[in-house]
A and B are shown apart, each in its own frame.
Chain A
Amino acid sequence: MLDFSAFQDALGLMFTSAGSWGWIVPGLIVGLVFSAIPGVSITMAMAIVLPMSLYMDFFSAIVFLTSVYTGAGYGGSVPAILMNIPGSPSSFATTFDGYAMSKKGQHNEALGYALFASTICGILGYVLLLLVIEPMANIVLRIGPVEMFAVAVWGMLLLGSLGSKYLTRGLLAAAFGILLGTVGMNTAGFVRGTMGIPTLLDGIPPIPAMIGLLAAGQLLTLAGKDYILDAEEAREVSVRKILKGCWGTMKYPGVLIRGSIIGIIIGAVPGVGSSIGNLIAYAETKRTSKDSASFGKGNPKGVIAAESAVASAEGGSMATMLALGIPGGGATAILIAAFMMHNIVPGPSFIENQKPMVYAIILNNIVQALVLLVVGIGFIYVASSVVKVRTRYILPAILVIATLGTYAVTGETAGPITLFVFALLGFALVRYEYPIAAVVVGILLGRMLETEFLRSYQLSGGNPLYIFQRPAAMAIFGVMLISLFMTAWGKRKQAKQEAEEEAAMEALHQQELAGRKS
Chain B
Amino acid sequence: MTHITRRDAFKLTAGGLAAASGLVAMPAIVRAANYPTRPINVVVPFATGGYNDRLSRAFAPYLDKAFGQPTVIVNKPGAGTQLGNTYALQAPNDGYTILCTSASPYIPLTVLLQNAPYKIEDFYMINLPSRDYTLAATSADSPLKSFKEVLDKLKADPSSLSIGVQPASADYANMVLVMQAAEIDPKKLRIVTYDGGGPARNATAGAQVDVGFVGAEGFLPLKTKIKPLAMFSDQPVEWYPEAPLASASGVKSDYVEGSQRGWAITAKLKKEQPEIAKTIEAAVEKASKDAKAIEALKLQDLATTWYGPEASNKAYLANAAKMAKYVDLLK
Residues of A whose CB lies within 8 Å of any CB of B are 47, 50-51, 54, 140-145, 185-189, 198-199, 201-202, 270-271, 324-327, 333-334, 336-338, 340-341, 343, 345-349, 410-412, 414, 451, 454-455, 458-459, 461
Whether B221 pairs with A142 at a CB distance below 8 angstroms is no
Cβ of B198 and Cβ of A270 under 8 Å apart?
yes
Chain A contacts for B82, CB-based, 8 A: 198, 201
Contacts of A326 in B (CB 8 A): 198, 201-202, 221-222
- A198-B114, A337-B53 given; name 18 further pairs at CB < 8 Å: A51-B57, A141-B206, A187-B195, A188-B193, A189-B167, A189-B168, A198-B78, A201-B78, A202-B79, A270-B202, A326-B202, A333-B49, A340-B54, A341-B57, A346-B221, A349-B224, A410-B76, A410-B77
12 A-B pairs within 8 Å (CB atoms) are namely A141-B202, A141-B206, A141-B207, A142-B206, A145-B208, A187-B167, A201-B80, A326-B221, A333-B49, A340-B301, A347-B221, A458-B191
| Residues A337 and B54 in contact, CB atoms below 8 Å apart | yes
A185, A199, A326, A461: residue with the most chain B Cβ atoms closer than 10 Å: A326
A454 touches B202 (CB 8 A): no
**Cβ 8 A contact of B224, one of A189, A271, A348:** A348
Q: Which of B57, B83, B198, B224 contacts A198 (CB 8 A)?
A: B83
Q: How far is the CB of B176 from chain A (nearest CB, A)?
A: 13
Task: Tell whether, in the assembled complex, residue B167 and residue A188 are in contact, meaning their CB atoms are under 8 Å apart.
Answer: yes
Contacts of B208 in A (CB 8 A): 142, 144-145, 459
A347 to chain B, nearest CB (A): 4
Known contacts: A201-B80, A326-B202. The answer to whether A189 contacts B162 by CB under 8 A is: no
Indicate with 1 or 0, residue by residue over B76-97, a CB within 8 angstroms of chain A CB atoms.
1111101100000000000000
- Bound form: Cα–Cα A348–B223 in Å: 9
User: What string of 1s and 0s marks CB contacts (under 8 Å) between B15-49 and chain A?
Assistant: 00000000000000000000000000000000111
Decide: A143 and B206 in contact? CB cutoff 8 A: yes
CA separation between A334 and B201, bound complex, in Å? 19
CA distance A414 to B79 in the complex (A): 12
* Interface residue count on the B side (C-beta < 8 Å): 47
- Which residues of A lie under 8 Å from residue B195 when comparing CB positions? 185-187, 451
Which residue from chain B places its CB closest to the CB of A48 in the assembled complex?
Answer: B48
Residues of chain A within 8 A of B220, CB atoms compared: 345
Residues of A within 8 A of B203 (CB): 144
Q: Which residue of A lies closest to B163 (CB)?
A: A458
CB of B209 within 8 A of chain A? Answer: yes
Once the chains are docked, how many angstroms separate the CA of A451 from the CA of B331? 18
Return the chain A residue nearest B205 by Cβ.
Answer: A141
- Chain A residues near B331 (CB-CB < 8 A): 189
Contact indicator A50/B222 (Cβ below 8 Å): no
Complex contacts, A199 vs chain B, CB 8 Å: 78-79, 83
Look across to chain A and name the residue whose beta carbon is closest to the beta carbon of B302: A340
Is B247 positioned at the interface, with any CB of A under 8 Å from its CB?
no
Quick check: B83 and A334 within 8 Å, CB to CB?
Answer: no
Residues from chain A with Cβ under 8 Å of B301 in the complex: 340, 345
B300 CB, min distance to chain A CBs, angstroms: 5
The 8 closest A-B CB pairs, nearest first, are A337-B49, A141-B206, A189-B167, A325-B221, A347-B221, A343-B299, A198-B79, A144-B208
